[in-house]
């Protein structure tokens, strides 16, 4: 996956996703054909019905473009935090085309805004600590760029987006190393020699922590531990390598994230931002 912040990446992905979303609805709308006169025009108003953080505008724009409509006239921008009720934007044009765009547009906006809204809650929970909130690879297949872009709109930070860009040793990799008689130092040295940067290692014990620190890991992922354990392990690791990054992960919730930030985590990652999010309450009204 390419970095959603890079020029053109989101626009290209939005066009791809919009085409897939519209294809799911088939090539004709038999209901609109018999209820809406050919050439009849209208205005569609995208409304937020509950507080939310805006995200996914490029994907909505791609849907209306694929339907032959003029761009959405937005009243808000990605990242804006809105109260309710709020008009996000308007669509003008042939009514049949507006209604063809309606459901794919809302499906994408509702999910993107839901992700951004939840992300903002996590970001707000660690305000003032310096800790950054990260997504994971627990994303909907085919929609990773879309969902990660929504996390960024909510104030989250970019984490590993694919298997090619960052080394991350996890529990199954540890097991494979042991089974082959190799060490974490062997793996990290080989990666560094090959030009890989960002040597991240997940640790589940003091023994793994000490081995990873000694092997030259640049970030430790402390998995499924209490805030107190994170604080203790972070202090132990930083006594050897003061600049070592610490990431807490595994079962961290909105209620517990601040405790992990205060324990010394530079980052907290949670799959909940993309796999357990509620859709934002949006609608499109014809006026």
Whichever domain contains 98, its CATH number is 3.90.1170.20
Within this chain, do residues 132 and 270 fall inside the same structural domain, yes or no? yes
Within this chain, do residues 39 and 133 fall inside the same structural domain, yes or no? no
- Structure token digits, residue 198: 């960002």
Nearest-angstrom CA–CA distance, 192 and 261: 29
pLDDT at 5: 86
- Is 49 tagged catalytic? no
Within this chain, do residues 217 and 242 fall inside the same structural domain, yes or no? yes
Nearest-angstrom CA–CA distance, 149 and 135: 10
- Is 170 tagged catalytic? yes
Mean of pLDDT over the chain:
96
Q: Is residue 4 assigned to a domain?
A: no
Q: Is residue 90 assigned to a domain?
A: yes
pLDDT at 31: 95
- Is 103 tagged catalytic? yes
Within this chain, do residues 119 and 196 fall inside the same structural domain, yes or no? no
Within this chain, do residues 114 and 215 fall inside the same structural domain, yes or no? no
Within this chain, do residues 171 and 267 fall inside the same structural domain, yes or no? yes
CB count in 10 Å sphere of residue 27: 6
* Residue matched to tokens 């032959």: 68
Catalytic residue among 92, 137, 170, 241: 170
Give the total number of structural domains in the chain. 2
- Using alpha carbons, select from 34, 44, 91, 45 the residue that is nearest to residue 68: 91
Q: Is residue 1 assigned to a domain?
A: no
Q: Is residue 14 assigned to a domain?
A: yes
pLDDT at 7: 87
Within this chain, do residues 156 and 266 fall inside the same structural domain, yes or no? yes
Q: Is residue 89 assigned to a domain?
A: yes
Positive or negative: CA dihedral 216, 217, 223, 226: positive
* Axis-axis angle for helices 95-125, 9-23 (nearest 10): 130
Nearest-angstrom CA–CA distance, 152 and 92: 29
Which residues in the chain land under pLDDT 50?
Answer: none
Which domain CATH number covers 195? 3.20.20.70
Nearest-angstrom CA–CA distance, 234 and 278: 33
C-alpha R_g of the chain: 23
pLDDT at 260: 99
Nearest-angstrom CA–CA distance, 254 and 204: 22
Catalytic residue among 29, 211, 223, 266: 223
pLDDT at 58: 98
State the residue range of the domain holding 93: 9-123+278-286
Catalytic residue among 13, 102, 202, 245: 202
Conformation bin of residue 39: beta by default, left when phi > 0, alpha when psi is -120 to 50: left
Catalytic residue among 16, 92, 137, 138: 138
Within this chain, do residues 58 and 133 fall inside the same structural domain, yes or no? no
Within this chain, do residues 169 and 260 fall inside the same structural domain, yes or no? yes
- Structure token digits, residue 154: 């909510």
Q: Which residues pair with residue 247 across a beta bridge?
A: 221, 267
- Is 245 tagged catalytic? no
C-alpha to C-alpha distances, 2 to 106, 146, 207, 273, nearest whole angstrom? 25, 11, 35, 19
Within this chain, do residues 254 and 135 fall inside the same structural domain, yes or no? yes
Q: Is residue 3 assigned to a domain?
A: no
């Amino acid at each position: 996956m390419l970095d959603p912040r890079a020029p053109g990446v989101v626009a290209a992905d939005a066009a791809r996703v919009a085409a897939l979303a519209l294809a799911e609805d088939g090539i004709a709308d038999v209901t609109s054909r018999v209820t809406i006169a050919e050439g009849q025009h209208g205005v569609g108003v995208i409304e937020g019905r509950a507080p939310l953080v805006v995200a996914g505008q490029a994907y909505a724009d791609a849907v209306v473009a694929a339907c032959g409509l003029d761009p959405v006239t937005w009243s808000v921008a990605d990242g804006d935090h809105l109260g309710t009720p709020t008009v996000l934007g308007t669509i003008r044009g042939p009514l049949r085309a507006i209604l063809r765009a309606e459901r794919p547009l809302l499906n994408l906006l509702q999910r993107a805004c839901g992700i951004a809204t939840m992300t903002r809650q996590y970001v707000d929970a660690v305000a003032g600590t310096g800790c950054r909130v990260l997504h994971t690879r627990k994303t909907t297949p085919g929609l990773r760029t879309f969902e990660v872009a929504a996390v960024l709109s909510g104030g989250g930070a970019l984490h590993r987006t694919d298997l090619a860009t960052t080394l991350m040793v996890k529990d199954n990799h540890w097991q494979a190393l042991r089974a082959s008689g190799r060490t974490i130092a062997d793996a990290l040295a080989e990666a560094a020699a090959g030009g890989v940067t960002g040597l991240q290692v997940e640790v589940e014990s003091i023994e793994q922590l000490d081995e990873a620190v000694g092997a030259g890991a640049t970030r430790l992922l402390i998995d499924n531990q209490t805030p107190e354990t994170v604080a203790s392990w972070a202090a132990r690791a930083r006594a050897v390598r003061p600049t070592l990054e610490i990431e807490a992960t595994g079962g961290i919730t909105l209620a517990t994230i601040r405790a992990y930030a205060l324990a010394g985590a530079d980052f907290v990652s949670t799959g909940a931002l993309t796999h357990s999010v509620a859709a934002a309450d949006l609608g499109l009204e014809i006026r």
